[in-house]
Each structure stands twice: as C-alpha cells, then as structure tokens.
Amino acid sequence: MNSQQSPAVSRGIASPRGVSRLNAENTFTQRYDSLLDMFETAVARYPEHTAFTNLGASLSYRELDKRSRALAAYFQHQVGVVAGQRIGLMLPNCLQYPIALFAIIRCGAIVVNINPLYTARELRHQLHDSGIDTLVILSNFAHTVQQVMADSPVKHVIVSELGDEHSPLRRKVIHFMLHYIKKKVPKWQIAHQSYRDCLKQGQDLPYRRPVIGLDDIALLQYTGGTTGVAKGAMLTHGNLLANIEQIKAVYGDLLVPGQEKIVSVLPLYHIFALMINCLLFVEQGASNLLITNPLDMDSWVASLKKINFSVLSGVNTLYARLLNHSGFRQLDFSALKISVAGGMPIQSHVAEQWQSLTGVPIIEGYGLTECSPLVAVNPLSIQQHTGTIGLPIASTEIVLLDEQGSPVPVGQPGELCVKGPQVMKGYWRHSQETSSVIDTEGWFHTGDIALITEQGLLKLVDRKKDIIIVSGFNVYPSEIEAVLDEHPLISEAVAVGVTSEVSGEAVKVFVVRKEVSLTEAQIIRHCREQLTGYKVPKIIEFRDTLPKNPLGKVLRHALTTVVQPEE
C-alpha cells in the first residue's frame, strides 16, 4: 500500500457498558461560512489550476469562477432567482454541471439534482414535490421534459448541447455526431433559453452576492423511502461543509491541495460522487476528469493514459469491470493514492484483485443521502479488504438499537443509528416522514442492520428496509410494483432483490397473470416505458398465487431467490 495513515483518522470508542455504541475520537474545525465561501476561497487559491476536463476540453478555476458568475447573474436578473428558490439540474458528467452547480450556489438558491435518465413519470413527481421553477438540462433529455411541461411548476428551461463548453469546431463535431450519427438527441419542442445565450447575457449583468448561513438549505437530494415515495433530503451548507471536513480528517495529509487528479466515472447527480468527486476536490483545488458516458469504457480508459490519476471512486460493479478491461490493466498506477468505494458492498475477490493490480486497497465506506453522505469508513492503514464499513468519521456517533429502541450488546445486530453534523435537516415537505427517521434526541435511524466485530469495526448484516441496491443505486420495490399494477393483464406482482454477479443485486418480480397470454417481453417493455433502466426487472417469474400472511400481506422472504448470471 503506497499510503500512510494520518493521525487524524477516526478511531471508534466503544461504550464502557458493553453496548454497541461508537463515537469518533476526533473532531474537526469549521473553516467556511457557506459553500459559496468555500468556492470563492478555492478559485482565489488555485485560479490557473485545471478544475475540470471533459471530452478534451478543460476549465481552469478562474474560468469556472467567470462562467458560474455569469450564469448566476443571468439567474438573478433574467429569471428572478432569489435565495431559497429551487433550481433543477438534469445533466450528466459534463463541464456544464459544475458551472451550473456553483451558479445556483452563488444565488443562494437550492440545487435539485435530477437523474437525466428518468422517465416522464419519475420526473413529474420530483418537479412537483420540489416545486422547481427553473430547470437546466442537456438537449439529449429535452424530450422527456417536454412530456411533463404542461402540468409542471417549471417556468424557465435552459437547454445546453453537450459540446457547448468546447471550441467552435469541436462543438460542431460533437453536435453532428450526437444528432445525426449516433442519434442520441430525440426530437423535442419546448420554450427555452440556450445555455450559451444565458452565459453571454450574464457576462454583462451585475452579480449580487447573497447572505448565506450554515443552516440554509443548499441541496435537495432525492431518495426513496420505505413506501417508495421519493423525498428530498434537505442538506444544508453546514451539513455538506461538515462532511467535507470529516472526509479530510480521514484522508489526512495524504491529499496534497492543488495537486490531486481525480477521475469521476460515477454521475455527479448522485450524492456519493457529488461529495467525493466534486465538492471535496474543488475545496482541494484538484483537477477532475469527468466521464460523460461510463459505458464507453474503451474511450475513457484510453483517456486515463494521459493523466497520472491519484484518486478513483466507484462501486463494486465499476471496479469489477475495470479489472476485466485489458486496456485498464496496462495503465500506470504509480500515482494512485486512494481507491474509495461505497453504495454497495465490495466483493472480496474484486478487492483482492484490485489491490494486486494497483498496489492500493479499496477503502470501503458507508453513507446515505440523508447524511451528506459519509458516515463510516475503513482506516487508510488497512492492508487488505476487511468486509466491513470501518469506523465512524470525525464528530459522528453511532449506536445499534434493538426493536424496542435499546442498545444491543457488542457483537449483536441492531439498527444502525447516526448522530452528527452531516445528518440532514429533514425531508422537504414531509414532516411526518422526517419524524419517523429522526427521533427526539437527534438520532437518524438508517434502517440498516449492523454489528460491531471483534476488531471493533462496523459490519452491515442486513437491511431493515426492502431496498434493492443495483450498482449502488437504490431501487424501491413498491415503485416497481406500482408500475406493474398499472398493466391490465397483471393481477398481482411483487418485486425483490436477488444476488447478481454483475450489479450486486438485480430486480426480480413475481407476477400473477390475469391472462396466460401475458409474456415476459410485454412486462419488460411496459416497465421500460415507466422506469429508469436500472429499475427494470431482470428476472420475471410467473406464479399462480403469492405467499401471504393472515392479513393478506405478501411474504417477500418466502419467495425463492436466484443468482443472476454474468451478462
């Protein structure tokens, strides 16, 4: 392992009463008044350093400052954006994402990340629930927005082409390839402003810096619940800044400000990548390579040959695919310091092969959207995969509770509950849901079951919720079931997670048909029209009946599960 453990790494302290409770030994100092303060400090320190690179084009911190300021001025004067207003970002990993992100922050407005692959049904709910007034999108996804505009609260749509931040010639090439060769931009027609026009107008408009406090909401990050209804976790400037400092306490002196080179394969609209790859490393003045299409592995793996990348974050699926890519195995890993993983458990054989190839262990952690996200992580001193989620990070308390709400003995499983400065303010417009997960003492009840091992590390053993985790993304069975219930030939349906060698888990559905003519292909086609790709069932099993308890509730655990083979 070519790293050293920092003295700032959290070490858990078990309760002297022998109950399962861990407190981080160290604390951190709050350095900034807001994310805006953090951003302004970073661009002042590293103006000429490269901030982001994508598809051959780069932005320095000075250029990021100039462009985000222009877009912020446009928001303020031409759209009328004020502090606390929600603005949606429906963008993949591209240069427009950090520009728009920090433009929103510079207005004191609230960022609402939206998965660009959402179907119209999924998008409609999030727009209504958040009350988004303004939406920034890529033209590739404008056809989806068009389907919901008539009954949405959105009044202003800003549309960008993927090549908008590139040179004129390169911009034309990207536009031609996407529109006419690859045909990745379906036809659409909605009232909008072009991204480039907005920047041009904003350059000549005065920007007014708002007053922002640590308790102000910076981000509405949507997650599902036990009911499957998507809710916006209200993450404040203080929550996100706290998590930045907590993560820095883990990495210690291993990170060199202004020198790190990061690879962002995971989508920035996901809280894991947004925190680890964007916010943390902007504060560090790092250079970030944004991968727009992670499925085109040949292309982006080839781009890694041009940089001596020092940090890579991913999920088990990504690491496994990289290990199986011949071009990746030929890269120079001498600069690699940190490989971090979250979102889904890392398989032992993947961790072992990764360390053998790169010389760097995968540092596995645990987090949730509601916690900004990081809660616990393995120490950097580990020599091999531990199969655990490590220890609580700085200023974080963890307790494991039984069904009665009492701490369980060490070594016994209990619901993992968290208290710390990174825990969300609550769910947007869902006070009842908030009170159901954050108790009167401030403990956030995660719904995950864990225990403390003999080595004093936290280990996840089960999930209290029925969430299915596909390649690090949460999939809620009730959402899939609601879509299946809409099919006229389905009598009953239930969705479960099954083990998958490809994605950690895959969606399997058990279906009771109204007519035997119903086929698997028809069900999958119906789901694809209503659900994002990773939510679409991979396995369909027809049953005459579903097992139920005396009250009529389906017994999920009584249903047979199978291993989904490699694709």
Longest alpha-carbon distance in the chain: 69
Sign for the CA dihedral angle at 427, 459, 270, 83 comes to: positive
Q: Which residues pair with 508 in a beta bridge?
A: 496, 539
- DSSP element (H, E) containing 48: none
Average pLDDT, the chain: 90
Confidence of residue 528 (pLDDT cuts 50, 70, 90): very high
| Predicted pLDDT of residue 549 | 53
Residues in the chain: 567
Cβ count near 401 (within 10 Å): 19
Strands 287-290 and 458-463: unpaired
Token pair in block for residue 552 = 């009529």
Taking residues 233-262, what's their average pLDDT? 95
CB 243 within 8 Å of CB 219? no
How far, in Å, are 26, 190, 402, 457 from residue 417 at the CA level?
Answer: 19, 45, 11, 15
Token pair in block for residue 340 = 């971090």
Sign for the CA dihedral angle at 156, 162, 107, 144 comes to: positive
| Predicted pLDDT of residue 7 | 26
Taking residues 337-341, what's their average pLDDT? 95
3-class DSSP state of 127: helix
Residues 19-44 pLDDT 10s: 678 887 677 778 999 999 999 999 99
Closest among 88, 93, 95, 110 to 61, alpha carbons compared: 95
Taking residues 543-561, what's their average pLDDT? 69
CB 212 within 8 Å of CB 72? no
In the predicted model, is pLDDT for residue 166 greater than 90? Answer: yes
Higher-confidence residue: 550 or 312? 312
Domains and CATH numbers, the chain: 1-28+238-424+442-465 (3.40.50.12780), 35-212 (3.40.50.980), 468-558 (3.30.300.30)
Say what the pTM is. 0.85
Residues 151-161 pLDDT 10s: 999 999 999 99
Residues 115-153 pLDDT 10s: 998 989 889 999 999 999 999 999 999 999 999 999 999
CA atoms of 83 and 406, how far apart (whole Å): 42
The DSSP symbol for 548 reads: B
Taking residues 300-327, what's their average pLDDT? 93
3-class DSSP state of 165: coil
Taking residues 97-104, what's their average pLDDT? 98
Confidence of residue 224 (pLDDT cuts 50, 70, 90): low
